[in-house]
Structure 1
Amino acid sequence: MKKIRTLFFVAISVAIIISCNNSGPKKRFLPPSTGGINSLMVVMDTELWQGGIGDKIREYFAAPVLGLPQGEPIFSITQIPPQVFKGGVTHSRSVLFVEQDTLSLTHIKDNVYATPQKVAVIKGETYNDLEGGVEELAQAAIAAFKHVEITEAQKRFTRSLSKETALQEEFGISLKVPSLYKVGRREKNFVWMDIQIPKGTMNIIAYEMPLESFESDSTFVGDIIKMRDSIGEKYVPGPYENTFMMTEKAFAPYVFPAEIGGKKAAEVRGIWEINGYPMAGPFLTYIINDKENNRKLVLEGFTFAPSAEKRDYMFELEAILRTIKFDMGS
């Protein structure tokens, strides 16, 4: 009898524990998000899309990417009306939802229908309300969409990573670089990796500059150009003797403040060309203020892909450069 009572109390205790564990809110299952890199699903009435509100959305979300030789939009946009937004379509990674409503609001939500996902919502009663909502939310939404797209790009290429150690040995850094990139040139204070793409190449270079470089704001852009041109002349030759990579003369590069690898940096976007030969393409440079190592570390990605769209190539290079990690103590 005593044994039966003991088993009864054990059973009751187990039931209570299971009941307690199941009493909390259940985590909702979300499917993985879908879509090509830099694709944006815009959910709004077709009438709005074809009118002034659609124009305002295109003004921001389809604006040309800075630093490309041809005009390519920030996002490749697909517009659908709300009644079509159901099922697998809701799993799009980046979604902009625009709706006429008695309530005016703007916000950005995470992982509403899938994961990872960003859903930007703009509601307003009048056209003026909607237009103001687009203007209010656009920059934050673009930044949120770009962040989730960068993360997705990194997730895709980290499935197979390069085991090259040149960057770690020369500069004490690591980058998550796809395995198809190979070291093509390595010298003291210079590493160049590249990959073959249809009709061209994608390239990553790294080098150091003295910490006190670029101290004058008035000559900042000019000093960056001089630096790039001197490195190009020394290390990045063109197809013939006395030809080399330099910054395009016709247009000054764009320069922005940035943070990369936990350190302050300057982000530079522009066009490179070959001195004395008709070759050109886009570049993205990060000049990282690495005080701990008494240097400025320069990372650059550039693409040569004539007659091809280059937005997604440069986006992949940005995603790679943004994986930088400094060795412990660096």
Structure 2
Amino acid sequence: MKKRISLCFLAILGLSIACKEDGKADYLPESVGAMNTLTVVIDNDLWNSNVGDAIRENYTAAAQGLTWDEALFSVTQIPQQIFTGSIRNTSSVLYVMEDTLNVAHMKSNMYAKPQKVGVIKGRNKEEIIANIKKTAPEFIADFKALEIAKAQKRFQKSLNKEKALEDKFNISMKIPSIYRVGREEDNFVWIDRQIQKGNMNIIAYTMPWDSFQKDSTFSQDIIRMRDSIGNLYIKGNDVAGKNNHMITEKAFTPYVFPAEVSSKKAAEVRGIWEMSAYPMAGPFLTYIISDKENNRKLILEGFVFAPATKKRDYMFELEAIMKSVRFNVNEQNK
């Protein structure tokens, strides 16, 4: 009888501990930090050595598809002894140190939530640098995914309730209320917001399912598609004797990557737009989403016009909005 009671007690104790561990995040403070910022915890000597060079090479490399060089992350370096108190609540942290272990891994919600802490250790500088280079793509993707989720959570506080995207394409997105629908056509919706020195824009339209059949002409087909949409819907200031409209910058071939959006296969395209007959330009980000259920390609594009202004964070906001897209279920598809 006593043995049975002891076993029951141990089972309850184990369950209690598991529950506490599972609920650990519930007791953590909310993480802090501006968009696309990274706190690097590393001793000054290492930061000022080739170890720091490796970190900067990977984490402050130029973000792709912008009109001028802007770093992937705004990095703040602090030594380990200062990484205490509220500083530990930073949402994105890279912790680098020389140690008796040679390890590199990502941890979640160590000191705050949501939070990602990339831990890199090595027995010497060579091992640390190797770990930095090896883990950088994965860590950058994790930090970026965290920032996207944080942004989408902020959007949720005040959403645009217009129904243009639902009515035209049977989709929804988490679009902040500061954005407004500016134009609707049969197969085209343009949503925008004003910023201090320009505007931020999202457009949506569809293409036939069998578009982009040849890999060898994929980039050229994307450019033709974008330029034709610009000619139809995105006109610029009148220029005597010329048809002034948005095109893909002729001197810059867009970057194209495989992607996944709303659990669907997609292509991600980053590049520069310009006007065909007037000196205006800016970055764009396009998602070509394979919507097999509806026998179409859904095209979502964000672009920014903001002369003499940094645009990384503007483009990141547009990316977070477009990645929030959800496809509503048609009755016939249930």
| TM-score under structure 1 length normalisation | 0.93
Q: CA deviation at 1:293?
A: 0.6
Calculate percent identity across the aligned residue pairs. Answer: 57
Secondary structure of residue in 1 paired with 2:287: strand
- Which residue does the alignment assign to 2:292? 291
1:61-94 CA distance string (max 9 Å, x none): 1111100011001100000000000000000000
The whole-number CA distance in structure 1 between the counterparts of 2:137 and 2:328 is 34
1:189 and 2:187 correspond:
yes
Residue in structure 2 matching 1:133, options 131, 134, 140? 131
Q: CA deviation at 1:158?
A: 1.5
Q: CA deviation at 1:116?
A: 0.3
For structure 2, list consecutive stretches of 5 or more residues without a partner in the other structure. 1-7
Range with bigger deviation, 264-273 or 150-159? 150-159
Question: Which amino acid in structure 2 is aligned with residue 69 of structure 1?
Answer: T
Q: CA deviation at 1:261?
A: 1.2
Secondary structure of residue in 2 paired with 1:112: coil
For structure 1, list consecutive stretches of 5 or more residues without a partner in the other structure. 1-15
Question: Which amino acid in structure 1 is aligned with residue 123 of structure 2?
Answer: E
Q: CA deviation at 1:21?
A: 8.8
The whole-number CA distance in structure 1 between the counterparts of 2:172 and 2:323 is 11
Secondary structure of residue in 2 paired with 1:24: helix
The whole-number CA distance in structure 2 between the counterparts of 1:22 and 1:230 is 64
The whole-number CA distance in structure 2 between the counterparts of 1:300 and 1:23 is 49
Secondary structure of residue in 2 paired with 1:318: helix
1:100 and 2:101 correspond:
no
- Which residue does the alignment assign to 2:5? none
1:126-275 to 2 correspondence within 5 Å? Answer: 126-241=124-239, 242-275=243-276
Secondary structure of residue in 1 paired with 2:148: helix
- Which residue does the alignment assign to 1:62? 60
**4+ residue runs over 6 A deviation:** none
Q: CA deviation at 1:47?
A: 1.1
Question: Which amino acid in structure 2 is aligned with residue 139 of structure 1?
Answer: P
1:70-109 to 2 correspondence within 5 Å? Answer: 70-109=68-107
- Which residue does the alignment assign to 2:4? none
The whole-number CA distance in structure 2 between the counterparts of 1:212 and 1:107 is 42
1:159-213 CA distance string (max 9 Å, x none): 1000110000000100111111111110000000000001100000000111111
Secondary structure of residue in 2 paired with 1:206: strand
Residue in structure 2 matching 1:119, options 105, 117, 120? 117
The whole-number CA distance in structure 2 between the counterparts of 1:22 and 1:132 is 40
- Which residue does the alignment assign to 1:305? 306
- Which residue does the alignment assign to 1:38? 36
Question: Which amino acid in structure 2 is aligned with residue 159 of structure 1?
Answer: K
The whole-number CA distance in structure 1 between the counterparts of 2:262 and 2:111 is 31
Q: In 2 relative to 1, CA 87–326 (structure 1 residues): closer, same or farther, beyond 3 Å? A: same
1:24 and 2:16 correspond:
yes
